[in-house]
Structures are given as C-alpha cells and as structure tokens.
Amino acid sequence: MPRSSTAEERRRKLLPLLAAAFGSLGYRRATTAELASRCDVQENTLYRLWPDKKAMFLAAVDFLFLRRMDKWKAAIDKTHSEDSHAVRLIELTGEDLGENGLYRIIFAALNETDDPDIKYALQRLYLRYHKRIEEEIVRHRKLTGAHKAAEDDDTAWALIALVAFMNIALDLELMNGRKRQQFFSTIAIQLLHLSP
C-alpha cells in the first residue's frame, strides 16, 4: 500500500479557508466551485476529503467555534488573576466582532435548520457557548459581589442574544462602529449588574 494518508493533514490545512469562505459568503453563495477556487484546488479534491458540502460546512462551524474559544483562552491568560474575565471578554467581543465569521456562519446555518444535522450542530454549539459564558458570569459575580438581577444562566443567554444582534446590526449597518460598541458595553455591564 503506497503513500501514507495525508488526508487528515490536508483537511486541517483547508479548513481555515473553507471557514473563511462560508463565513463571508454564507451557505448558499458558497458554491462548491467557489469553495474550491478559494482553496486553490479542484472541486474534486474537496469531495475526496469530505463526503458532501454539508460536511464541509459543519466542519467549518466547528473549526470557527474552537478558534473563538482559543482566542478567549488566550485573552484570559493575559488578564491578571484578580481581574474580571467577563469584562475583558466583553471588551474583546466589542473589538473583533465579526472578524472571524463565526456569527455569519451561524446565521447562514439558521436558515438550514430543517436539516437535522445542522440543527443539532447549532444546538450543541450554543449550549457549549452558553455554558462557557455562564462560568465567567459566576466567577465575575463571586469576584465583585454584585447583586444579581437575574440568574446566571439567564444573564448568559442575554449576553449571547446581545452578541448575535450586534452582528445583525453590523451587517445591516444599523449603527456605526462607535455607537455599536458603546451600546454593547452599556447593556452588557447592565446585565452583569455592575454599576458603572
């Protein structure tokens, strides 16, 4: 049997490109021809690495989520241990909103929720996301002793809602960048119930 399998490695190399393509084009406009061209390979090659377009999409979703979590981890590692992670993450989110296309890909996926695989993947993603945020809220509230206006898990969902809408606002140009950032931090802080 000749040539050791390099498929896994090739998948890893192509994923960021696929993710970027899906992120900026959405599901529909990201045609297989376009994906191939952006990866600088033939369509054929993609189909040798993934069974179909949906699989490429799901792999991309997963990749972007994990990359986002890595970014959070890196940001937190640079924070002093006694500072609030939550506040740092809010700043971070305000800054590189939409940068890596995670939300655009999620919104693209939301239109495919009739497909059970896609729906399940999104569900899992949101639940993991929620869990991660709730952890930080708990930590934040313990640290600051802030009086809770809502349960931690409700606050976590509310922050997720806020971020989702920030991306809508970005896409639709509902507010300019400065305003959007001010809006986000005002409301996020209010939700954490930290008097300014």
Question: Smallest distance, Å, CB 180 to a copy of itself?
Answer: 9
Q: Pick left, alpha or beta for residue 113 (phi over 0 → left; psi -120 to 50 → alpha; otherwise beta).
A: alpha
Residues that bind a copy of itself (CB under 8 A): 26-29, 107-108, 110-111, 113-114, 119, 122-123, 126-127, 130, 149-151, 154-155, 157-158, 160-162, 164-166, 168-169, 171-175, 182-183, 186-187, 190-191
Nearer to a copy of itself, 37 or 79 (CB): 37
Q: Which does 81 bind (CB under 5 to 8 A by kind): DNA, a copy of itself, none?
A: none
Nearer to DNA, 50 or 129 (CB): 50
The verdict on 3 binding DNA (CB under 7 A) reads: yes
CA distance 136 to 87: 9
- The DSSP secondary structure of 6-47, one letter per residue, reads -HHHHHHHHHHHHHHHHHHHHHHH--HHHHHHHHTS-HHHHH
Q: Which does 158 bind (CB under 5 to 8 A by kind): a copy of itself, DNA, none?
A: a copy of itself
Question: Smallest distance, Å, CB 97 to DNA?
Answer: 27
Q: Which does 5 bind (CB under 5 to 8 A by kind): a copy of itself, DNA, none?
A: DNA
Cβ–Cβ < 8 Å for 138, 152: yes
Contacts of 195 (CB under 8 A, 6+ apart): none
| Size, binding site for DNA by CB under 7 A | 24
Nearer to DNA, 53 or 119 (CB): 53
Cβ–Cβ < 8 Å for 46, 35: yes
Question: Smallest distance, Å, CB 4 to a copy of itself?
Answer: 40
- Helices 102-110/7-29 angle, 10° precision: 60
Angle (CA) 161-165-167 rounded to 5° is 125
Nearer to a copy of itself, 8 or 173 (CB): 173
Taking CB under 7 A as the rule, which mask of x and - marks residues 23-62 in contact with DNA? -----xxxxxx-------xxxxx-xx---xxx--------
CA distance 15 to 58: 11
